[in-house]
């Protein structure tokens, strides 16, 4: 994968919550409680179930999501998943 994948991700509209780091696209979402963060993780897991490199971390009041484990693995399909 060239720089095109992560540049396309960064340039896409509607992804204001996401950043691209060396480990790929990542976002942190605030929640009012651990339970709310877990429910958000469940909803995201339904969308991202087929993505083998997705990492989600649930903390009290926050959910973090990383779509890939490497910036070079970002592809156009990740833009739609992040929306």
Longest dimension (CA), the chain: 39
Average pLDDT over residues 40-60: 89
Residues 20, 10 contacting (CB under 8 angstroms): yes
Which residue has better confidence, 20 or 64?
64
Average pLDDT over residues 42-70: 87
Provide the mean pLDDT of the chain: 82
pLDDT score for 7: 78
CA distance 43 to 81: 12
Radius of gyration of the chain (CA): 13
Using 50, 70 and 90 to split pLDDT, how confident is the model at 1? very low
Using 50, 70 and 90 to split pLDDT, how confident is the model at 45? very high
């Amino acid at each position: 994968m060239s720089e095109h994948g992560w540049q396309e991700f960064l340039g896409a509209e509607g992804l204001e919550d996401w950043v691209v780091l060396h480990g790929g696209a990542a976002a942190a979402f605030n929640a009012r409680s651990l339970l709310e963060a877990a429910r958000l993780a469940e909803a995201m897991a339904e969308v991202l179930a087929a993505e083998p490199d997705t990492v989600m971390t649930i903390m009290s009041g926050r959910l973090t999501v990383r779509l890939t484990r490497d910036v070079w693995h970002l592809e156009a399909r990740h833009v739609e998943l992040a929306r």
